[in-house]
Homo-oligomer: A and B are copies of this chain.
């Protein structure tokens, strides 16, 4: 990922394109808020304000911004209900669900190694 060396040959052009696209997507997704949003959604469908409550410390702006990004990449589906007051629901698409599975792995990892990490930190800080 972002590692390969390409020759100057023209037939590598689309490989290089795919590679930079992969890197771009990776940068979109490998971000704290995006991951927390996906994790929060899980299998449920939540409204904007519910997401805001679920994810501690996220600002209005960051939430909308990341939701747009995720929608653009086809990871979340946004459905607007034409009622007043407005109601907007968010849910993961199939690609989003697939991603969520790996993020679950990340969360599991975090909790499994909580202890290791905490002691490692104390050792380091000395």
Contacts and interface: CB of A to CB of B under 8 A. Distances in A.
A74 B22 contact: no
A21 B119 CA distance: 12
B98 A102 contact: no
B120 A74 contact: yes
Contacts of A1: 36, 39, 107, 110
Quickly give the copy total for this chain.
2
Given A32-B27, A120-B72, A109 B105 contact: no
Interface of A: 1-3, 18, 21-23, 25-27, 29-32, 35-36, 39-40, 54-57, 71-74, 95, 98-99, 101-102, 105-107, 109-114, 116-121, 124-125
A95 B74 contact: no
7 contacts: A1-B39, A2-B56, A3-B55, A21-B114, A73-B117, A73-B120, A74-B121
A110 B2 contact: no
A86 to B, nearest CB: 20
| Residue among A29, A54, A99, A110 having the largest count of chain B Cβ atoms under 10 Å | A110
